[in-house]
C-alpha cells in the first residue's frame, strides 16, 4: 500500500450562515434559539507533557480543535426515552477480503426499537471517526425518520474508533485493516445479520444515514451494496476527493470575510507579520510568548508549518462548526483587542489555551500520536485514514485565503511519514 493511494476524499465544510455584523463596537448577540450547553462541542483531554518520563507529572489540555472538527454530528435536545437505546456487539471479520484470515473482533452498536412497527425500515446511522453514543438514537433526523416510519434505529461504531477495536494496538501494521472498504463490508454483514436474526426485520427496507465522513460511507454503501441498502441520507458527505484540498481554507477565509471583511484583513496581515518576526531570535521569542507556545517556536520545517497550521486551524475550527453568530463573535474578539495585527490574532488564539494549557509543538504532537496504544482518542486513526486513503489535506496552497503559504502539501506528507512510516 502506498502512502497516498488513488482515493481521496474531503470531510465536511459546514459553511456558516452568517448574518452581517451590524455594529462593530458591540459584541454580536448570543443566539438564544439553540441550547448549546446541553451537548457542548468543546472537550478537554488531559495529557501528560512527557509520556516517557514517569517523574514528569505535568499535564496539558489539548485536542479541542481537532476533536471539534472531527466529532460526531451535534445532537439536539433528546426527545426519545433515555432507557430505549441499548448497547450490543456483533462479531465481525478482521479482514473481509481474505477468506483465509479467520480472525474476528467485536464491533459495538446501539439499537432502539422505541418506534418500531413490524415491517418498518431499518434506520442505521453510521459511525464515523468518533465514539458512538446513545444520544445519537434519541434525537435528530435519525429519530424523526425512524419514528415517522415505524423504523428500527441502529447506530454502528466504525472499526478502530471508540471500543470497536479489531486489533490489540495501533501500529501501522495493525492499522492496515482500517479502510472505507472494510468499514462498508462491516456494514453489509451487519445488515444481513440483523435481517437474519430478527424475523421482524426480514423484509425491512434499509435506510443508512451519516454526516461528514459517515455520509460518504452512507453514499458508498448505497452504490456498493444496492441489494442491501435502499436509501442513503448523506449530510455534508464529501465525495469529490483530492490530495491537495486547498479549497478548504478558501472557504474558511470567505466565511470569515462574510462575517467581517476587516477581520480577515487583520488575519492576513498578522500572518505575514509573524513570518517576518520568525526571521530573528528576538522575534521568535516574542511570537512564542504571544501565542503561548509550550516551547519556543521551532522554525525548522515541518515544525514551522505545524505552528502556522495550528493558528489557521483555530480559525477553521471557528468556521466549521459555527452556529449563526459564532464567526461574528470570534471576529469581534480578534478585532476588539488593542495592539498590532499579530497581537490581535495572538490574543484570540490565547483564548483557546486557558489555564495551564499551551500551544503544542510538532514534536510534542508526534509524541502524543506516535504511541500505538489504544486510547479513547481518534486522532491517530483519522490521520491514518487520510494519510493512506483519503488525502484531503487542507493546505495553504491557494492564494485566495488569508493564511499565507505557510503549510504546504509537503508538510502533511512529512506528518504522514513521521506518524506511520514511509510505506
Ligand atoms: C478545558 O480546559 C480549560 C482550561 O483548563 C477550561 O477553561 C475549560 O473550561 C475546559 N473546558 C471543558 C469543556 O472542560
Ligand atoms: C461487548 O463486548 C465487550 C468486549 O468485548 C464487553 O465488554 C461488553 O460487555 C459487550 N457488550 C454487550 C452489550 O454484550
Ligand atoms: C417477509 O416476506 C415473506 C415472503 O413474502 C413472508 O412470508 C414473511 O411473513 C414476511 N415477514 C414479515 C416480518 O413481514
Ligand atoms: C519584542 O518585544 C519587545 C518587548 O515588547 C519589544 O521591545 C521588541 O521590539 C520586540 N521585538 C520584535 C522583533 O518584535
Ligand atoms: C525543530 O524541528 C526539527 C524538525 O521537526 C527537529 O528535527 C528539531 O529537533 C527541532 N528542534 C528542537 C529544539 O526541538
Ligand atoms: C471593544 O468593544 C467595546 C464595546 O463593546 C468598545 O467600547 C471598545 O472601544 C472596543 N475596543 C476596541 C479596541 O476595539
Ligand atoms: C502503552 O504500551 C506500552 C507497551 O505495551 C506500555 O508499556 C505502556 O504502559 C502503555 N501506555 C499507556 C499510556 O497505556
103 and 179 assigned to the same domain: yes
262 and 391 assigned to the same domain: yes
Q: How far is the CA of 298 from the centre of ligand 5 (A)?
A: 6
270 and 342 assigned to the same domain: yes
- State the pairing for strand pair 206-211/231-235: parallel
At 334 the pLDDT is: 96
Q: Nearest residue CA, atom 13 of ligand 3?
A: 200
**Model pTM?**
0.82
Q: How far apart are CA 224 and CA 181, in angstroms?
A: 10
Nearest ligand 6 atom to alpha carbon 337? 13
Domain-ending residue, one of 162, 193, 211? 211
Residue 222, domain member (yes or no): no
Q: How far apart are CA 277 and CA 260, in angstroms?
A: 26
At 64 the pLDDT is: 56
Residue 50, domain member (yes or no): no
274 and 187 assigned to the same domain: no
At 341 the pLDDT is: 98
**The domain spanning residue 410 has which CATH number?**
1.20.120.980
Residue 39, domain member (yes or no): no
The per-residue pLDDT for range 257-295, each reduced to its tens digit, is: 999 999 999 999 999 999 999 999 999 999 999 999 999
**Tens of pLDDT, residue by residue, the chain (423 residues):** 322 222 222 333 222 222 223 333 444 444 434 333 333 345 555 565 555 555 554 444 445 566 666 777 777 777 888 789 999 999 999 999 999 999 999 999 999 999 999 999 999 999 999 999 999 999 999 999 999 999 999 999 999 999 999 999 999 999 999 999 999 999 999 999 999 999 999 999 999 999 999 999 999 999 999 999 999 999 988 887 789 999 999 999 999 999 999 999 999 999 999 999 999 999 999 999 999 999 999 999 999 999 999 999 999 999 987 888 899 999 999 999 999 999 999 999 998 887 888 999 999 999 999 999 999 889 999 999 999 999 999 999 999 999 999 999 999 999 999 999 976
156 and 248 assigned to the same domain: no
Residue 13, domain member (yes or no): no
- State the pairing for strand pair 59-62/45-48: antiparallel
Q: Nearest residue CA, atom 2 of ligand 1?
A: 44
Q: Which of 294, 296, 300, 413 to mutate to test the pocket of ligand 5 (most atoms within 8 A of CB)?
A: 300
At 71 the pLDDT is: 72
Q: How far is the CA of 186 from the centre of ligand 3 (A)?
A: 25
At 189 the three-state DSSP class reads helix
Cell triple for 224: 456498493
At 257 the pLDDT is: 95
143 and 249 assigned to the same domain: no
202 and 305 assigned to the same domain: no
At 79 the pLDDT is: 81
Cβ(113)–Cβ(54) below 8 Å? no
Cell triple for 150: 415505524
Domain-ending residue, one of 188, 211, 234? 211
**The domain spanning residue 132 has which CATH number?**
3.40.50.1820
269 and 201 assigned to the same domain: no
Residue 111, domain member (yes or no): yes
127 and 196 assigned to the same domain: yes
Q: Which of 273, 274, 286 to mutate to test the pocket of ligand 4 (most atoms within 8 A of CB)?
A: 286
Residue 318, domain member (yes or no): yes
Cβ(301)–Cβ(21) below 8 Å? no
Residue 46 near ligand 1, beta carbon < 6 Å: no
Residue 72, domain member (yes or no): no
At 207 the pLDDT is: 98
Domain housing 396 = 243-420
Number of compact structural domains in the chain: 2
360 and 402 assigned to the same domain: yes
156 and 275 assigned to the same domain: no
167 and 282 assigned to the same domain: no
Nearest ligand 4 atom to alpha carbon 286? 1
Nearest-ligand number for the alpha carbon of 306: 5
H-helix or E-strand containing 247?
helix 247-259
At 44 the pLDDT is: 54
Nearest ligand 3 atom to alpha carbon 201? 13
> Residues with Cβ < 8 Å from 214, sequence gap 6 or more?
125, 126, 127, 128, 158, 237
Residue 328, domain member (yes or no): yes
Residue 305 near ligand 4, beta carbon < 6 Å: no
Residue 280 near ligand 4, beta carbon < 6 Å: yes
Q: How far is the CA of 122 from the centre of ligand 3 (A)?
A: 15
Domain-ending residue, one of 189, 211, 233? 211
Residue among 1, 13, 348, 422 at smallest CA distance from 213: 13
The per-residue pLDDT for range 221-235, each reduced to its tens digit, is: 999 999 999 999 999
Q: Which of 272, 274, 282, 287 to mutate to test the pocket of ligand 4 (most atoms within 8 A of CB)?
A: 282
Q: Nearest residue CA, atom 14 of ligand 4?
A: 283
Amino acid at each position: 500500500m502506498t502512502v497516498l493511494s488513488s482515493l481521496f476524499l474531503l470531510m465536511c465544510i459546514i459553511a456558516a450562515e452568517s448574518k452581517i455584523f451590524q455594529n462593530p463596537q458591540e459584541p454580536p448577540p448570543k443566539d438564544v434559539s439553540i441550547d448549546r450547553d446541553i451537548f457542548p462541542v468543546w472537550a478537554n483531554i488531559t495529557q501528560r507533557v512527557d509520556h516517557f518520563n514517569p517523574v514528569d507529572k505535568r499535564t496539558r489540555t489539548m485536542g479541542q480543535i481537532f476533536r471539534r472538527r472531527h466529532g460526531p454530528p451535534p445532537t439536539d435536545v433528546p426527545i426519545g426515552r433515555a432507557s430505549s437505546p441499548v448497547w450490543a456487539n456483533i462479531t465481525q471479520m478482521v479482514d473481509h477480503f481474505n477468506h483465509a484470515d479467520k480472525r474476528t473482533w467485536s464491533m459495538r452498536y446501539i439499537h432502539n426499537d422505541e418506534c418500531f412497527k413490524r415491517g418498518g425500515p431499518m434506520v442505521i446511522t453510521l459511525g464515523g471517526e468518533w465514539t458512538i453514543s446513545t444520544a445519537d438514537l434519541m434525537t435528530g433526523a435519525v429519530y424523526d425518520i425512524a419514528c415517522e416510519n415505524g423504523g428500527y434505529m441502529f447506530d454502528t461504531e466504525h472499526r478502530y474508533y471508540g471500543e470497536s477495536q479489531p486489533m490489540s494496538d495501533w501500529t501501522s501494521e495493525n492499522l492496515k485493516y482500517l479502510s472505507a472498504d472494510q468499514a462498508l463490508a462491516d456494514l453489509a454483514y451487519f445488515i444481513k445479520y440483523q435481517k437474519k436474526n430478527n424475523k421482524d426485520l426480514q423484509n425491512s427496507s434499509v435506510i443508512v444515514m451519516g454526516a461528514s465522513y459517515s455520509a460518504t460511507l452512507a453514499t458508498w454503501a448505497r452504490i456498493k451494496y444496492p441489494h442491501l441498502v435502499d436509501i442513503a441520507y448523506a449530510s455534508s458527505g464529501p465525495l469529490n476527493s483530492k490530495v491537495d484540498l486547498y479549497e478548504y481554507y478558501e472557504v474558511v477565509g470567505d466565511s470569515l470575510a462574510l462575517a467581517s471583511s476587516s477581520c480577515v484583513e487583520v488575519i492576513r496581515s498578522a500572518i505575514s507579520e509573524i513570518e517576518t518576526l520568525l526571521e530573528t531570535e528576538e522575534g521568535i521569542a516574542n511570537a512564542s510568548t504571544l501565542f503561548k507556545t509550550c516551547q519556543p517556536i521551532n522554525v525548522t520545517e515541518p515544525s514551522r508549518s505545524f505552528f502556522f497550521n495550528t493558528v489557521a486551524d483555530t480559525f477553521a475550527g471557528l468556521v466549521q462548526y459555527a452556529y449563526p453568530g459564532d464567526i461574528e463573535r470570534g471576529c469581534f474578539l480578534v478585532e476588539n483587542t488593542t495592539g498590532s495585527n499579530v497581537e490581535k490574532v495572538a490574543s484570540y488564539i490565547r483564548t483557546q489555551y486557558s489555564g495551564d494549557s499551551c500551544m503544542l509543538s510538532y514534536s510534542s504532537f508526534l509524541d502524543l500520536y506516535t504511541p500505538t496504544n489504544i486510547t479513547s482518542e481518534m486522532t491517530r486513526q483519522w490521520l491514518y485514514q487520510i494519510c493512506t486513503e483519503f488525502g484531503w489535506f487542507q493546505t495553504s496552497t491557494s492564494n485566495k485565503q488569508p493564511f499565507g503559504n505557510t503549510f504546504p502539501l509537503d508538510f502533511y506528507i512529512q506528518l504522514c511519514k513521521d506518524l506511520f512510516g514511509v510505506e
